[in-house]
Amino acid sequence: MDSSHEIKDWQPKILAFLCNWCSYAGADLAGVSRTQYPPNIRVIRIPCSGRVDPMFILKALQQGFDGVLVSGCHPGDCHYISGNYYARRKFALIKALLEFIGVEEGRIQFSWVSAGEGEKFAEVVKKITTDIKELGPAKCLVKNRINPSGGL
């Protein structure tokens, strides 16, 4: 087993790409409503889920994140009309490819969270955190391991 996994209080580091118009606002709502969710995500705000080049996901894994979440507006709600539709196709392919080379199912997750869905945002973060805790630290693609005992 990976040595970092043995560290008693290992906590996964999860990178979340949240679109400005829906999911980021959803996360904000979760915050102001004081909805509790695990502190394992680090958020990068992006203009649109369509802005997420699969390269971002690969890079996050290479840099040592244990999981990646990408979240955008529900279909039909995209601020730029169709960004999330294009995104959906990209995500399907990169997910298939990563799982094919041995990245475990669950490390890379996607969600649609609207600005009014603070509760859902918290649920999504809970789910991905639980899933990744179960999987343990990332193994595939990792180049720079994030210090497992400390901050980022």
Task: Please identify, using beta-carbon distances, which residue of 8 and 96 lies nearer to other proteins.
Answer: 96
CB proximity list for 79: less than 8 A, separation 6 or greater: 19, 20, 21, 22, 48, 73
Q: Is 146 in the site for other proteins (CB under 8 A)?
A: no
* Residue from the set 3, 8, 9, 101 that interacts with other proteins by CB under 8 A: 101
The CB-of-76 to other proteins minimum distance in angstroms stands at 8
Task: Please identify, using beta-carbon distances, which residue of 32 and 96 lies nearer to other proteins.
Answer: 96
| Positive or negative: CA dihedral 31, 37, 43, 49 | negative
Backbone dihedral angles phi then psi of residue 46, each to the nearest 5 degrees: -125, 155
Structure tokens of 125?
């973060």
Best CA proximity match to 97, nearest among 86, 84, 107: 107
Task: Please identify, using beta-carbon distances, which residue of 65 and 110 lies nearer to other proteins.
Answer: 110
> In the complex, which residues of this chain contact other proteins (CB under 8 A)?
54-55, 58-59, 62, 75, 82, 85-86, 88-105, 109-112, 124, 127, 139-143
